Structure 1
Amino acid sequence: MVGSRLLPVTNSARAQMASATTFSAPANAPRRRSPPPPPHLPRFHAFSRNLRPAPAAVTSKMEPAPAITDRQGTAGGPPEVAGAVPKLLDESEIEPRGVRDYIDWSRDLVRPDGGPPRWFSPLECGSREKGSPLLLFLPGIDGVGLGLIRHHQRLGKVFDIWCLHIPVMDRTPFEGLVDFVERTVKSEKSCSPNKPIYLVGESIGACIALAVAARNPNIDLILILANPATSFCKSQLHSLSVFLDVVPEPLHINIPYFLNFITGNHMRMSSTYAKSVLSLQKAAWGLSESLADIPPCLSFLVNILPKESLLWKLKMLRSASFYVNSRLHAVKAQALILASGRDQLFPSREEAERLCSALPNCRIRHFKDGGHNIFLEGGIDLLTTIRGAGYFRRSSQLDYVSDYLLLTPDEFQKATEQYRWIDLAMSPVMLSTLEDGRVVKGLAGIPLEGPAVLIGYHMLMGLELGPLFTRLFLERKIHLRGIAHPFMFDRASELLMPDSSSFDSHRLLGAVPASAANFYKLLSRKSFVLLYPGGAREALHKKGEHYKLFWPEEPEFVRMASRFEATIIPFGVVGEDDISEMLLDYDDLVNLPFYDILDKRINQDAVRLRTESTGEVRNQALYLPILLPKIPGRLYFLFGRPIEMRGRREELKDKYKAQQLYMHVKSEVKNCITYLKEKREKDPYRNILPRLLYQLANGYTAEVPTFEL
């Protein structure tokens, strides 16, 4: 591709934009994207006006982007059936970008043109889904607007992306930039009142986003803030800016802190860096590439940050910090702060904690190895981060079912990495039951067509979840959607966790908060739903209660399953007693000094389920048991014979018959557990030593045998 340039917005240029760029010229036309242009056409479509005109009766000639279609051919949201292929781009489909690409793409943008700040949209963002929300990117101190270059292709699948470009010699003050963005936000909100607007800002761009949110508390905004410059007065830049006057140009760029504006972590900014673990060959190539990028970075920094502009922007940073900090109390919008652990410009980790305590609807995601320009570094996927935090939605309210996006292969691998040790240490055994009642190895007895509800025993700490999700997905192409405790989705819960992203993988895998409405929506989409009637009481049981079912008396799931003619698949799992021994349970912990303070924060302030139920199931106290690890044994799964609901809707309206079926399912789960407990005694590979010897002889990828069926 040739160098990018901004098109002058003349009548003749508008016609060229409509045929060659991402948007049609009319301001109110449906924002649909055309196919990527030939190499000789520009990379961007520019908006040089400060505010889009009022809507007019103009019709776009562009074809709308095709809706996603699932295996049954139903148009609409993401597919929710077994065997569905993820529609988002994965790493193999994304052209790698690095600092060199950022510099090459930026050269034409930073040429002095005398123009004001403006919006542009990268062509490579591609064709997005219908109803995609608007994402406004607010750049850092460089002002170019290409800080998301690594993320354009992925974000462009689900967002309508506009990037703010601030010319090098532009002297619009901070409040002027806030006014500019605010007018755009209000204009776009009037066109799409039911959709949120995303403001993604880094450094001073994050300050602009916070200022706009503070001035517009009634507009539905979602803020993604990367290393906000609200801590400018605590940074090294604040003191170094005093001495900048005596440093001759262009030597001012060689000051380490100023050099970090663009260069940051050289290795993580190379185009080859995509993951935290690289092969030796890729690491060597990335190192050589990053070293080769330093001279172009220096010359480019002189172009985008001449001394006069740098002095102006440092003053603007100071005013932005004061302006925003005095108005934090007015920010009501959702905010997600991305904090780098190695930010050499600002104390971002500490500032993120301060902002989170000041903002009522804020969450944090830490990146311990990240530098200041985190969006230009590899190892972070912004779209995955937004989705994992539960911040992706298309309307005014988050819908965990309709707003869910299927995993890419890379996301699936990362989300299930935490469970890999279970596969390695315990070689799970998967058994299923065919329609004729025969138990077979593998998952052949599980139907491929939804809707279906998997009902089973919830092992201590949910240790069975990893193998359950991964094996069903890999062997049967079944994407399982779990009904989870609301604790995993609550902001207050994150503040109690040592890692604020502890539950992100569950959200990425498709877990939804427990509610009848979510259960209904999943079944209506023919999903495979994982439901534990015992819930947290079963997963956090006490001493001597392993393999004991704590089910409510009411047949909660039977009528809903019959309404959608969903297949019920009972299953049992054993092996927790081969993994660990419980030292302290809830009854022991509450007797410890000061534990009552933590217990109150967890259980009295958390969302409570089944408060009107009777029996033990209503005592779902959340706690972290103290366990003593054992030499790992083995996990065993048995999926019982599927129970068809087809044609039984009217029959199961009768409470007695619904209760009978409910008890039958419970009995089947118990039978599965009893079968596995008896059979595992005959497994010659139940202990880890025989399994290791088998794998040494046959290779670590070989499946370890088990008992005879």
Structure 2
Amino acid sequence: MATSVFASLPSSVASVPKPKPSSRRLPTSMALASGTEPTAFRISSELKTRTKLTEGGKPLPPPTLQQDGKVFDETVVEPRGLLDFIEQSRELVRHDGGPPRWITPIDCSAPHHTNLPSLFYLPGIDGVGMGLVRHHQRLGKIFDVWCLHIPVMDRTPFKGLVEYVESTIKSESHCLPNMPVYLVGESLGACIALAVAARNPNIDFVLILANSATCFSKSNIQYLSSFLDVIPEPMHIAIPYFLDLLTGENLRISSTFAVDQVSITQVFSGLFESLNKMLPSLFFLAEILPKESLQWKLQLLKSASSYVDPRLHTVKAQTLLLASGKDQLFPSSEEARRLCKILPKCRVRYFNNSSHNLFLEESFDIVNVMKGSCYYRRSSYKDYVSDYLPPTPYEFQKISEQYRWINIATSPVMLSTLESGQIVKGLSGIPSEGPVLLVGYHMLMGFEAGPLVIRFLNEKNIHLRAVAHPFLFNRDSEMLMLDSSAYDGMRTMGVVPVSGTTLYKLLSRKSFVLLYPGGAREALHKKGEEYKLFWPEQAEFVRMASRFGATIVPFGAVGEDDIFEVLIDYNDLRKIPFYDLLDKRLNQKDVRVRANSAEEVGNQDLYLPGLLPKIPGRFYYLFGKPIETKGIKNVYQDRGEAQKIYMHVKSEVENCISYLKEKREHDPFRNLLPRLLYQVSRGFTEEAPTFEL
């Protein structure tokens, strides 16, 4: 006989029946107390773990996402917002007094027959469990999603909640030991996640925590309980701090209004519209947080903070902190900086214009944040190839806008070479099918890479996977940046850290790979070293390319000297007192490339050069004649033959650079002013002409 969803189960987790590891955990559709069937979620009174999918007694590897050959993630996502959160949550908000339970949203249509990592959502003080409603559809494609629901009248203490979640996690980890367990928590839920991770250091967790309540003792909300006794119900919901909890808006007039610029009618009209938008939230807030429950939740927050804080040093899990800059409940940005110093595997993303309830804000996309921060993986280690999620068209558009000023200022000219050797405008000389390895020269600061990747997607519908310096992926390096999310756009577009293994995997999937053998040594060259190649003496990529019959396309790019002039290079910086301290932090062992090489290319010291901006000139790219490796015999086994091809590729890159440097002198639109006049006269719909070929 099935157990009722609302059966009186003890709040002590110790008495909850242990799941059987031999059975696949599936949600059971069950009727609500009112006799109506839920439309937005399924409820399970007893979670069962998933079957261990095995082959020959060994666990199956994570499935390959069906993304090979796809340029974009074309998943159609139905827009959701605050009203959807309220509508779907009403089915759950009942004063039943039942224990906490797990729910799975129906629109998280994860393919349960495959091994996807589990994501457990732990709510804030609302306890409803539908806080990720805007993200359910996208999360359901890459996770097995479960949400914790804490009923309105439930009085399970903090430790009981931790034990309840812990029991489920242990069963899940036992069933799928080679997969990470994702805990996504906000406010109170962040404390639960940290507590579970602290108590289970041997489980592979990925924590994604928004506006953690670990700073409860530093927040103004701690003084609220003393006022609740004298405030009649439901007037307690009008406290401004709690408006921020659901709406992300406060009872304030938009800063765009100024008394000397608008009439008093406009001011009151704007105020009325704001209040009208908030009314559904206020009434619903009264349902999920009656005064008695609110008093209990405040005590729960205090217990959570005091329980977790002394245990933070034991948390070894990979953690991503999301901090809102306009959080009126907690000093979230300050707390994120504190936690980042304590947690050894922690990174932070700041959202300066966001309020407390970050997950419900229209501008926030949790899947996009996971992509940019490289926090999505399906095994015990991050595989930058098989775990990669293609960008959506909207993500690509946002990233393209970041390079818009470079495209306007430099108006890139791209030329390619046909099989016959003829140089033509555009990218028609680029092969249409992979595997293809584009090998070229890295301009100053790598300014040429962004426009190159964007143009290939727009013109050829080809997604270039760039091989980049490990500095772009290192935690300590990120902490040195003014903006911790500076490289998120590049990682969203598929940049991977340089390694032979990564190159092998990309070519085996017939990808288009962008490779710079000179790496940081070229991109951070010293004064007087413009357009000089710093390649290793020995071939590094030819034998790998020949193994998969990849086509090698050499290319050159010029224009850096028309953008900036290097005033202070590495040699100058080393003369500055105490610079060696920063130098050691920038060039630590984890970010060294070819550290054991005695060649100059092995001396890839990272630094920030002093640059003098110039009136922008123009960028020029020339892709040489494709070099086929498929028909060449013995390249993979014969190192001598591979070296010949390697030197040929290098020579072609140098020839491309020389050609462009000579021909650009005859470009009538090389200078900015005539180029802008041409484009303005045509509404920026046409690219300015260039030299004759």
* Offset of residue 612 of structure 1: 2.7
* Offset of residue 55 of structure 1: 6.7
Using the alignment, how far apart are the partners of 1:653 and 1:626 within structure 2? Answer: 45
Query: Aligned residue for 1:678?
Result: 662
- Residues 467-503 of structure 1 show CA distances to partners (whole Å, capped at 9, x for unaligned) of 1100111111111111111111111011111011111
Query: Aligned residue for 1:43?
Result: 40
Query: Aligned residue for 2:551?
Result: 567
Using the alignment, how far apart are the partners of 2:406 and 2:28 within structure 1? Answer: 45
Contact 1:553 1:614 in 2 (8 A): no
* 1:44 partner letter: F
Query: Aligned residue for 1:210?
Result: 194
SS of residue paired to 2:527: coil
Query: Aligned residue for 2:680?
Result: 696
How is 1:268-667 mapped onto 2 (pairs within 5 angstroms)? 291-667=275-651
Most deviating of 611-620 and 318-327: 611-620
Contact 1:265 1:377 in 2 (8 A): no
* CA 53–475 in structure 1, closer or farther in 2 if over 3 Å, else same: closer
* Offset of residue 210 of structure 1: 0.2
* Offset of residue 651 of structure 1: 3.9
Using the alignment, how far apart are the partners of 2:44 and 2:159 within structure 1? Answer: 20
Using the alignment, how far apart are the partners of 2:250 and 2:667 within structure 1? Answer: 52
* CA 515–252 in structure 1, closer or farther in 2 if over 3 Å, else same: same
* Offset of residue 703 of structure 1: 1.5
Q: RMSD of the alignment, in Å?
A: 2.6
Query: Aligned residue for 2:48?
Result: 52
SS of residue paired to 2:42: strand
* Pair 1:28-2:23 in alignment: yes
Contact 1:78 1:406 in 2 (8 A): no
* 1:117 partner letter: P
* CA 206–400 in structure 1, closer or farther in 2 if over 3 Å, else same: same
Query: Aligned residue for 2:157?
Result: 173
Contact 1:80 1:479 in 2 (8 A): no
SS of residue paired to 2:120: strand
Equivalenced residue count is: 648
* Pair 1:112-2:95 in alignment: yes
- Residues 124-160 of structure 1 show CA distances to partners (whole Å, capped at 9, x for unaligned) of 1224483221000000000001100111111111111
Query: Aligned residue for 1:19?
Result: none
Gaps in structure 2 of 5+ consecutive residues: 8-19, 30-35, 54-61, 253-268
Using the alignment, how far apart are the partners of 1:449 and 1:690 within structure 2? Answer: 38
- Residues 181-210 of structure 1 show CA distances to partners (whole Å, capped at 9, x for unaligned) of 000001111221111110000000000000
SS of residue paired to 2:208: strand
SS of residue paired to 1:151: helix
Using the alignment, how far apart are the partners of 1:612 and 1:222 within structure 2? Answer: 34
SS of residue paired to 2:363: coil
Gaps in structure 1 of 5+ consecutive residues: 1-6, 12-24, 58-67, 69-74, 269-284
* Pair 1:86-2:86 in alignment: no
SS of residue paired to 2:405: helix
Using the alignment, how far apart are the partners of 1:424 and 1:486 within structure 2? Answer: 30
Query: Aligned residue for 2:12?
Result: none
Most deviating of 110-119 and 375-384: 110-119
- Residues 400-443 of structure 1 show CA distances to partners (whole Å, capped at 9, x for unaligned) of 11100111111112233322211111100010000000000000
Most deviating of 143-152 and 99-108: 99-108
Contact 2:43 2:101 in 1 (8 A): yes
Contact 1:48 1:117 in 2 (8 A): no
* CA 649–138 in structure 1, closer or farther in 2 if over 3 Å, else same: farther
How is 1:119-198 mapped onto 2 (pairs within 5 angstroms)? 119-128=102-111, 130-198=114-182
* Offset of residue 292 of structure 1: 2.7
Contact 1:558 1:658 in 2 (8 A): yes
Using the alignment, how far apart are the partners of 1:187 and 1:705 within structure 2? Answer: 65
Residue 83 of structure 2: which of 100, 103, 118 is its match? 100
Using the alignment, how far apart are the partners of 2:433 and 2:510 within structure 1? Answer: 8
Using the alignment, how far apart are the partners of 1:493 and 1:47 within structure 2? Answer: 44
* 1:541 partner letter: H
* Offset of residue 657 of structure 1: 1.5
Using the alignment, how far apart are the partners of 1:365 and 1:54 within structure 2? Answer: 33
* Offset of residue 597 of structure 1: 1.6
Using the alignment, how far apart are the partners of 1:546 and 1:316 within structure 2? Answer: 62
* CA 570–392 in structure 1, closer or farther in 2 if over 3 Å, else same: same
Contact 2:110 2:143 in 1 (8 A): no
Contact 1:46 1:121 in 2 (8 A): yes
SS of residue paired to 1:510: coil
SS of residue paired to 2:403: helix
SS of residue paired to 1:343: coil
Residue 229 of structure 1: which of 201, 204, 213 is its match? 213
Using the alignment, how far apart are the partners of 1:692 and 1:33 within structure 2? Answer: 63
* CA 361–287 in structure 1, closer or farther in 2 if over 3 Å, else same: farther
SS of residue paired to 2:605: coil
Contact 2:49 2:172 in 1 (8 A): no
* Offset of residue 266 of structure 1: 6.8
* Offset of residue 564 of structure 1: 0.6
- Residues 638-682 of structure 1 show CA distances to partners (whole Å, capped at 9, x for unaligned) of 000000011325245222221111110000000000000000000
Using the alignment, how far apart are the partners of 1:339 and 1:519 within structure 2? Answer: 35
Most deviating of 285-294 and 380-389: 285-294
Using the alignment, how far apart are the partners of 1:349 and 1:595 within structure 2? Answer: 29
SS of residue paired to 2:502: helix
Using the alignment, how far apart are the partners of 2:72 and 2:37 within structure 1? Answer: 32
Using the alignment, how far apart are the partners of 2:563 and 2:374 within structure 1? Answer: 32
* CA 337–502 in structure 1, closer or farther in 2 if over 3 Å, else same: same
Using the alignment, how far apart are the partners of 1:30 and 1:670 within structure 2? Answer: 60
Identity across the alignment (%): 63
* Offset of residue 367 of structure 1: 0.3
Using the alignment, how far apart are the partners of 1:332 and 1:165 within structure 2? Answer: 27
